[in-house]
Structure 1
Amino acid sequence: MPDANPAVRLRALRKNFGAVEAVAGVDLDIADGEFFAMLGPSGSGKTTVLRMIAGFESPTAGTVELGGRDVTRLAPFQRDVNTVFQDYALFPHMDVLGNVEYGLRVKKVGRSERRERAAEALRSVRLEGFERRRPAQLSGGQRQRVALARALVNRPRVLLLDEPLGALDLKLREEMQVELKQIQREVGITFLFVTHDQEEALTMSDRIAVFDRGRVEQVGTPAEVYERPATPFVAAFVGTSNLISGAAAAAVLGRDGTYSVRPEKLRLLLDVDAPAAPGHHSATGTVAEVVYAGAATRFVVDLDAGGRLVALQQNLETSSMEVTALRGRRVRLDWDRRHEFAVAS
């Protein structure tokens, strides 16, 4: 049953910059306490939507509601939201405590309550004992957590995160993905997270909205979006997907249309003459390229029926020399029919 008053409700939201339509009629409901990701490439409209929710941009048309309240024409400070930016925007001349307390100081919250709430926010991001350090004395991950604490201390209904992990190196970014999800679960606030990184969205989110050219292509859980992409764009953008269509679909699947199957669902077999297993489809072809990546290998296979599929195989017992030797080899790809899904053209 839909939430009568979701944390965020967008209806027919549009934004034009001159002749450019950056957001082309977005409808979204984001529930209280949800970790929701808006995922898409640069220029897809996701950040513009975030800025309209925050009040930094005014919609050309449509409405923004927070907790059932229409805030479309309200200033940012009149909305029950806070934003964490990619560059963190910390005050370099203030220590950690001063940065976290700043919003409460502006609101003229008393000193004792201010200190108590700042200490609570720092505990929530695991930065006790860092109160007197300056931003320059912190690591990238610690600065990110200070920015998060500064936003959480105001106890907003919705926390907006604009690619906050983009400036971190890969290992730290992966660690912070897990930490952010744990923090969100503990504080119980709705997190609205903007990212172009598919892994971030899949790792942290309860649900994902995939954006392209100002429109929402699909909304669903990470498993729904990954396993059952609704459009060719979602199939191609979220992870790696194979699209089977045209003559290949007719020859291999026995039907018309466009279908998606993920690389890890394909088994690469050297016996090209063996029949497909019951409930499976198979296709023969030639290995055009082998990409060895340590834990796994990607095999790019040109099908006899036309088109190209990528198969992902874990390197459980094989070495780089063994898998690269398969380049140019005739092979058969086999997959369970339950793992192929029709996608809209």
Structure 2
Amino acid sequence: MPGSETAVGLRGLRKEFGPVTAVDGIDLEVRDGEFFAMLGPSGSGKTTVLRMIAGFEPPTAGTIELGGADVTRLAPFERDVNTVFQDYALFPHMNVLANVEYGLRVKKVPKAERRERALAALRSVRLAGFESRRPAQLSGGQRQRVALARTLVNRPRVLLLDEPLGALDLKLREEMQVELKELQRAVGITFLFVTHDQEEALTMSDRVAVFDRGRIEQVGTPAEVYERPATAFVAGFVGTSNLIAGAAAEKLLGRSGTYSVRPEKLRVVPGADALAGPDERSAAGTVAEVVYAGPATRFVVDLDAGGRLIALQQNLQVSSMEVLGLRGARVRLVWQRRHEFAIT
């Protein structure tokens, strides 16, 4: 479980590249032993923040603390962090053991200790017996684990991961998400993980910071960020969200403002005259499109009150032909009042 001490502390962090402000006044605390994800689209500033924490980029303003110590002006090798990149950067002419030992050899760690720590690191990532192989003889997932072992062998306080799963295919990426989380729990090191993949961030992290245009839009647990998005950007970027605003909000909810309702919270009831329960709301409309996706179907519904909502329904007892037959049908969308949240 994450501790209460701060592993990484950012205060007023800012980075300018000429006239472009890549990071615009970030304040953030990452707890000791936490798996923390920085999530956002390309160009949102998350990788720049990671590079500043690693020491690869100097901040224009603000401070960076590791374990309570100010490291803002320290060189990368003076910081108790290691970084895993998307391309892994393994030495192709070295075998797995030599790759993992390399950092310790540079630090002039005695050979016996170096070998013992490298073998232990390989066991921790389930690569015992692969010591003599070259990177070209490994799968993508195995190379990723070698890169992890090479950083873990240095026993850093914080491990920085810059989209390390981005080059893997979908199935392997999903497997490695589980393995990474299990590994982080086992070693107890703070993981600071950069990704643009919403599902990846929600699956792996203890907490998530959602970035947009150099700022943090929201910080919270995966459930908080998904179920209670603080802004319209978070609602739209993290998963799929329905926004009810303007005249539609006044007609359906009886109040002005903008509100979010997740697609899986909506129930599709055939017939626009169906009634909602006392703790529910409903909206009549016409099915504009049906998207069959195997285990679930997405219904795009044009509302009589104005606007459009998307409902997600599991295919528990229906076939693709049955759900596709609802295109153009009159329906009523029903949801519980507690599943609608005001956003700014």
What TM-score do you get using the length of structure 1 for normalisation? 0.98
What corresponds to 1:22 in structure 2? Answer: 22
What corresponds to 1:336 in structure 2? Answer: 336
Deviations 1:138-172 (A, max 9, x none): 00000000000000000000000000000000000
Q: Which amino acid aligns with 1:136?
A: A
Within 5 Å, give how 1:288-303 maps onto structure 2: 288-303=288-303
After TM superposition, give the deviation of residue 273 of structure 1 in Å.
Answer: 1.0
After TM superposition, give the deviation of residue 272 of structure 1 in Å.
Answer: 1.6
| 2:132 is the alignment partner of 1:124 | no
What corresponds to 1:110 in structure 2? Answer: 110
Within 5 Å, give how 1:300-339 maps onto structure 2: 300-339=300-339
What corresponds to 1:138 in structure 2? Answer: 138
Distance 1:121 1:340 in 2: 47
Distance 2:74 2:187 in 1: 26
Question: Secondary structure in 1 aligned to 2:94?
Answer: coil
Deviations 1:87-131 (A, max 9, x none): 000000000000000000000000000011001100110000000
Distance 2:193 2:275 in 1: 46
Backbone CA RMSD of aligned residues? 1.0
Deviations 1:171-219 (A, max 9, x none): 0000000000000000000000000000100000000000000000000
User: Matched residues, percent identical?
Assistant: 82
Within 5 Å, give how 1:178-193 maps onto structure 2: 178-193=178-193
What corresponds to 2:54 in structure 1? Answer: 54
CA contact (8 A) 2:260 2:342 kept: yes
What corresponds to 1:265 in structure 2? Answer: 265
Distance 1:28 1:86 in 2: 24
What corresponds to 1:43 in structure 2? Answer: 43
Distance 1:69 1:165 in 2: 31
Distance 1:36 1:136 in 2: 31
What corresponds to 2:7 in structure 1? Answer: 7
Deviations 1:7-63 (A, max 9, x none): 000000000000000000000000000000000000000000000000000000000
What corresponds to 1:251 in structure 2? Answer: 251
Distance 1:153 1:105 in 2: 11
Q: Which amino acid aligns with 1:132?
A: S
Question: Secondary structure in 2 aligned to 1:7?
Answer: strand
The answer for unaligned runs of 5 or more in structure 1 is none
What TM-score do you get using the length of structure 2 for normalisation? 0.99
Distance 1:100 1:3 in 2: 28
Distance 1:19 1:219 in 2: 28
Distance 1:5 1:21 in 2: 30
After TM superposition, give the deviation of residue 275 of structure 1 in Å.
Answer: 2.2
| 2:175 is the alignment partner of 1:171 | no
Q: Which amino acid aligns with 1:214?
A: G
Number of aligned positions between the proteins: 343
Distance 1:342 1:94 in 2: 56
What corresponds to 1:214 in structure 2? Answer: 214
After TM superposition, give the deviation of residue 274 of structure 1 in Å.
Answer: 2.3
Query: Segments of 4+ in structure 1 off by > 6 A?
Result: none
